[in-house]
Every structure is written in C-alpha cells, then in structure tokens.
C-alpha cells in the first residue's frame, strides 16, 4: 500500500507472519514507503543523506570506518544502528544492565538496529579485561524484539547464566560485513 500523500506507509515487518497481526507491521523507513521492496536505503544512499558531495569523496570523514561525529562509532555502525553520523548523541549503541530474577543476577542488553539492513549484521562481544573480546552469542538469549515505529527495532537479550555483580564484564557491539 502506498502512503496517502507524502507521509509514511505501513509495511510488513514479518513477511512470513499472519497479515492480520499488528506486530507484523511497521512504519516505512522513508516517506512514501516502498511496498513490496526493501525499505532501507543502501549505505551509499544513506551516506548521501548526511554528507555533501565533497565530503563523500573524503573517506576519512564519510567512509564506513570513519567517525564523523567523534562518538566512537564508525559510520557503518551508525548506519546499522539507525543513528545520525553527524550527531554524537543520536543513539546509544548498547544498553547494559543487571536484573534480579529468582535471587540471581543476570546481564541484560538492548540495542536498536535499522530494519532491513543487508550489508551488515550486529555482533555483540564480551570481555572481562577489555583486551580480549569474544562473541557473546552463545551466552545470550533473545527475550524481546520490538519495532520502534521509526524504521528501527529494539532487541533485548538476557545472559543465559547468572553473573557475580562484582565481576568485571564488558560488552560492545560491532557492525560485521555480511557476504
């Protein structure tokens, strides 16, 4: 369905799910929508929304590994997270907290990702030293996946095992190029 006028349209977020289920729909990421097509602009188009033609030629500013707003997030990760590469406070990459369940303490992590990104996937890594990092996938259980209505979805994970709150444990999120 196309938007009436210049607004956003509703698009299926779960193409294999039941169409009558409200959770299987989301706002289009772009005004006018793109019914039946991938709604997320490719990285090159996304970059042109934030950088001038001259800046696009300067890969130290607009390249995938550049950090235009000096917030510690490379542009590729800003794209994946759905954040603004020119504003260093646009979106927290990863929120980490401790939760108590049945007398046990668990790590809980949340992040938002742009819907429909094909060039990159998110990888959560953990460390106890900040020197050696390992993929955290096996130690996390996805507990929710909630569309935000702005072209991003927030996913929340909980650790599969309880942790000692006094233990040093660090997490980071990386954008990994998909083949």
Tokens 């504003």: give the residue: 87
End-to-end CA distance of the chain: 31
pLDDT grade for 138, boundaries at 50, 70 and 90:
confident
For residue 156, list its beta bridge partners: 110, 144
Assign a CATH topology to domain 95-177. Answer: Immunoglobulin-like (2.60.40)
What is the value of pTM for the model shown?
Answer: 0.73
The residues spanned by each domain of the chain are 10-81, 95-177
CB 116 within 8 A of CB 40: yes
When comparing pLDDT for 87 and 13, which is higher? 87
Q: What is the pLDDT of residues 34-65, one digit of tens each?
A: 555 545 667 888 898 899 999 999 999 999 99
99 φ, ψ to 5°?
-125, 145
């Amino acid at each position: 369905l196309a938007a009436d006028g210049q607004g956003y349209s509703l698009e299926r977020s779960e193409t294999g799910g039941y169409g009558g289920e409200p959770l299987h729909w989301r706002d289009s990421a772009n005004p006018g929508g793109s019914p039946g097509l991938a709604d997320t602009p490719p990285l090159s188009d996304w970059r042109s929304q934030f950088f001038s033609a001259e800046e696009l030629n300067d890969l130290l500013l607009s390249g995938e590994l550049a950090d235009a707003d000096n917030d510690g997030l490379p542009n590729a990760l800003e794209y994946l997270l759905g954040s603004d590469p020119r504003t260093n406070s646009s979106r927290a990459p990863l929120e980490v907290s401790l939760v108590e369940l049945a007398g046990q303490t668990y790590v809980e992590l949340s992040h938002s990702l742009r819907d429909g990104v094909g060039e990159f996937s998110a990888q959560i890594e953990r460390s106890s030293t900040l020197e050696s990092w390992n993929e955290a996938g096996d130690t996390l259980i996805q507990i929710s996946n909630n569309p935000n209505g702005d072209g991003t979805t927030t996913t929340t994970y909980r650790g599969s095992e309880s942790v000692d709150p006094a233990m040093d444990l660090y997490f980071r999120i990386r954008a990994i190029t998909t083949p």
